[in-house]
Amino acid sequence: MTYNKMELMIICASRLLENGRLVTVGTGAPCAATMLAQKLHAPDLVMFFEAGGVAPQLPTMPISVGDSRTYYRGLMATSMCDIMETCQRGLMDYAFLGGAQIDPHGNLNSTIIGTDYHRPKVRLPGSGGACDLASFCWRVITLMNHDPRRFVPKLDFLTTPGYLSGPGAREAAGLPSGTGPYRVVTDLAILGYHEETKRMEVVSLHPGVALEQVRQQTGFPLGVREPLEQTPAPTDQELHLLRTEVDPHRYLIGRA
């Protein structure tokens, strides 16, 4: 069965989520990935929405974190304060984030493009809750398209902390030890971080993608984890559930 890049990214992200874990999601691809994981291999995955929905049984994909569907048959209809407190208490296993730029240590920019904060080339939405989630959740998964304008050696603005300047920097800034970036899922590969240097490295190449292609689309040198893996292609079951139950109106995955 054929598939497109967005379908591949959502499916790859869903495979990273384990049963029984707690995950904070936004709308769009992160929500689709979590819904797919619940339907396939993680039925007891607990989904949190920033606006306060906890463990809803989503009938269809919500259009915002405050959509009424994010509370449907949920365990709690609470507030943003409670969601962030759950993260601060060290209870949140995963958080999904995105951004306009990412650097070798997983730091993210979602504030401006350009060097002048007051007169940027592009003004972006800003942090929202991303800085809080990246600071306190155990593992951060980033979803973004792979091109050198996004994968940059230095951010135009540091919105959200990854490993900051490298080993020990998060802890020196007062962030909990053991937390931080985990995976970056792109349309070309799955990336992780070297255990000692905390720099980004290629973990798995998607079907039909060469390592040199990934390096050409990255604005900084990439390490390679050995053995370098090959991302399994989406299965018919994964694609069927994604298309018929998770995103039947194809808001994310596009028209057939």
How many angstroms separate the CA atoms of 48 and 24, rounded? Answer: 5
The amino acid present at 149, given as its one-letter code, is R
How many angstroms separate the CA atoms of 11 and 5, rounded? Answer: 10
How many angstroms separate the CA atoms of 34 and 51, rounded? Answer: 17
Pair 55, 76: CB distance under 8 Å: yes
User: Of the residues 7, 50, 201, 238, which is catalytic?
Assistant: 50
Tokens representing residue 31 in the block: 């929500």
Query: What pLDDT shows up at residue 148?
Result: 97
Active site residue 50: yes
How many angstroms separate the CA atoms of 60 and 179, rounded? Answer: 31
Q: SS3 of 22, please?
A: strand
Find the angle CA(42)-CA(72)-CA(144) to the nearest 5 degrees: 55
Greatest pairwise CA separation for the chain in angstroms: 49
Half-sphere exposure of 186 (CA within 13 A, CB side): 27
Fold designation for 5-246: Glutaconate Coenzyme A-transferase (3.40.1080)
Query: What pLDDT shows up at residue 66?
Result: 87
pLDDT digits (tens, 9 = 90+) for 173-208: 999 999 999 999 999 999 999 999 999 999 999 999
pLDDT digits (tens, 9 = 90+) for 119-178: 999 999 999 899 999 999 999 999 999 999 999 999 999 999 999 999 999 999 999 999
Partner residues linked to 122 by β-bridges: 113
Does the pLDDT of residue 117 top 80, yes or no? yes
pLDDT digits (tens, 9 = 90+) for 73-113: 999 999 999 999 999 999 999 999 999 999 999 999 999 99
Please tell me the pTM assigned to this model: 0.95
The amino acid present at 49, given as its one-letter code, is F
Query: What pLDDT shows up at residue 192?
Result: 98
Query: What pLDDT shows up at residue 256?
Result: 61
Pair 187, 146: CB distance under 8 Å: yes
How many angstroms separate the CA atoms of 75 and 73, rounded? Answer: 7
- Mean pLDDT, residues 29-51: 96
Pair 94, 137: CB distance under 8 Å: yes
How many angstroms separate the CA atoms of 166 and 163, rounded? Answer: 5
| Buried b / exposed e along 49-77 (16+ C-beta atoms within 10 A) | bbbbbbbbebeebbeebebebbbeebeee
Where do the domains of the chain lie?
5-246
| Spatial CB neighbours of 123, under 8 Å, sequence gap ≥ 6 | 112
